[in-house]
Structure 1
Amino acid sequence: MPASTSARADPHHDAKPRRRVGRPAAAVLDQAGITAAALQLIGKSGYDGFTMAALARTLNVAPSALYNHVSSKRDVLVLVQDHLASLVDVSAFEAEPWERAVRAWAWSYRDVFSQHTPLIPVIAVLPVTDAPKTLAMYEAVSAGFSRAGFPQGRIVSAIVALESFIFGSAYDVTAPADIFDSGSMAESTPNFTAAVQAQDLESYGKPADVAFNLGLEAMIARFGALRG
């Protein structure tokens, strides 16, 4: 049989290689993927379980591939910090009165970190160097304070004070509902037990929200008195 006839008879002759389907053998790494995997790992195992080797396993890549994108654990934490900061709403500082802007920012900040409490001890003391989204958040808040006539020398201290309250309140969101149940000690702690039972939850419904609102409004009132 002529070669040309044989070629026509073979259905695979001159056919282009078929493209493989399904997941690639190795994960395609980028900052967004690394950040998402780090959040997943820390949420599951806590900060103590967060290592570069564990992160590489989560991403299904070799540690060497991971180090091509980030040089250290700190670099990953900066990515995580920046991602969470980008979720905090600071838009009210552009258009709303100072009190409303601080209120909106603080509630948003608390809600974001209440979903990621294992990260609070780390991020609370992590420098903001090389974290553009975090710095953008602080810039927006600082500008809002400045426009409202807040003394420049007190702005950072005010932000730190608010953050300390916000981070603690984020933990409170995840606390068990019976955290203040005095149980068998109720008779020996009558004042505290009565105060727990008398909590006014009508405004917000959740003890954590009531406490956060009370503390935040007190801080806003005090800081507001410092404005020029």
Structure 2
Amino acid sequence: MGRGREGAGRGRPSRPVLSAGLIAREALAMIDTEGADAFSLPRLAGRLGVKAASLYNHLDGRAAVIESVRRLVVEEIDVSVFAVLPWPDALAAWARSYRDAFARHPHAIDLLVTTTIGSPAMLAMYESVVEALARGGWPPGRLVTVLTSVESFVLGSALDLVAPPPMIDPSGRAPRVPALAAALHAAPEHDKAARAEQAFASGLQALVRGLVAQLAEVRTSDAAGRQPG
């Protein structure tokens, strides 16, 4: 009886069965803990306890692994708001969700923004944004500009959220930069999260309001152009 139980135990795998999903999750965990510069397929394989060649049975090389990591991060971003909210409110809610997702994985930013985007999840997210902007009245020629403007602000804000405090340190030079020194003293630098949130909320509000005003100008200009001469 004892030998039978031991034999059954030996038949069980000592680690989870390798799969595309497991590879992606471990890759993201590796990037989170070690940074994007440390990411490589041999190191990833080592963390999984397999040879690098085994990864190719599930994902076709480094680019495919990066795309799978991108999908995991994108799955944390809420795009459902575009189906139920006016485009300015949806854009603000999406931007906040986007910022929060990348703030949880800040080391992934450098890796993901320097590779061509082709993952179905990312393209579907962009499709939701662009469709909502188009329904809101944005002309086709402005859609990518609006999308890129918001995305650039979001990624910068995600990095700011995890930046080491203080990012600006005029110690010993305050007399030469009195206005800056006074502003830094008045800022909530003692609470890094509060400072980052305040900066994000203020910037997002200004960005969305600016886009609303910009769209109004576009509509006015288009209407004027349609007036008979």
Pairwise same-fold verdict (TM > 0.5):
yes
Q: Does 1:77 align with 2:53?
A: no
Q: Could you tell me which residue of structure 1 aligns to residue 175 of structure 2? A: 187
Gap regions ≥5 residues in structure 2:
220-229
Instruction: State the alpha-carbon separation in 1 of the partners of residues 182 and 105 from structure 2.
Output: 33
Conserved 8 A contact 1:113-1:120: yes
Residues 26 and 61, structure 1, Cα contact 8 Å, conserved in 2: no
Larger radius of gyration: 1
Which residue identity does 1:151 align to in structure 2?
P
Structure 1: gaps (5+ residues): 1-10
CA shift for structure 1 position 88: 0.6
- Alpha carbons of structure 1 residues 125 and 224: separation in structure 2 relative to 1, 3 Å: farther
Cα separation, 2, equivalents of 1:105 and 1:70: 30
1:52 aligns with 41
Determine the C-alpha separation between the residues in 1 that align with 2:168 and 2:6.
Answer: 67
Q: What's the CA shift for 1:17?
A: 8.3
- CA drift of 1:188 comes to 2.0
Deviation at 1:90, TM superposition (A): 1.1
| Residues 30-72 of structure 1, C-alpha deviations (whole Å, 9 max, x = no match) | 2221111101111222222111111111111122221111121
Closer, same or farther: CA 118–89 of 1 in aligned 2, 3 Å: same
Aligned to 2:101: 112
**After TM superposition, which residue ranges in structure 1, 4 or more long, deviate above 4 angstroms?**
15-18
Residue type at the aligned position of 1:225: A
1:17–1:177 CA distance, 2 compared to 1 (3 A): closer
Flag the 1:57–1:205 CA change in 2: closer, same or farther, 3 A: closer
1:160 alignment partner in structure 2: 148
Aligned-pair CA distance for 1:126: 2.3
SS at match of 1:28: coil
Q: Distance in 2 between matches of 1:82 and 1:136?
A: 11
Normalized per residue, the structure richer in helix is: 2
Number of aligned pairs? 214
| CA distance 1:12–1:32, shift in 2 (3 Å) | closer
Distance in 1 (CA, whole Å) between partners of 2:153 and 2:111 is 16
Q: Which moved more, 1:104-113 or 1:174-183?
A: 174-183
Give the TM-score normalised by the residue count of structure 2: 0.84
- The percentage of aligned residue pairs carrying the same residue is 35
Of 78, 87, 95, the match for 1:98: 87
Q: Is the 8 A contact 2:188 2:194 kept in 1?
A: no
For the Cα contact (< 8 Å) 1:53–1:63, is it kept in 2? yes
Matched residue type, 1:67: Y
Whether the aligned pair in 2 keeps the contact of 1:92 and 1:105 (CA below 8 Å) is yes
Q: Which residue is 2:54 aligned to?
A: 65
- TM-score relative to the length of structure 1: 0.85
SS at match of 1:214: helix
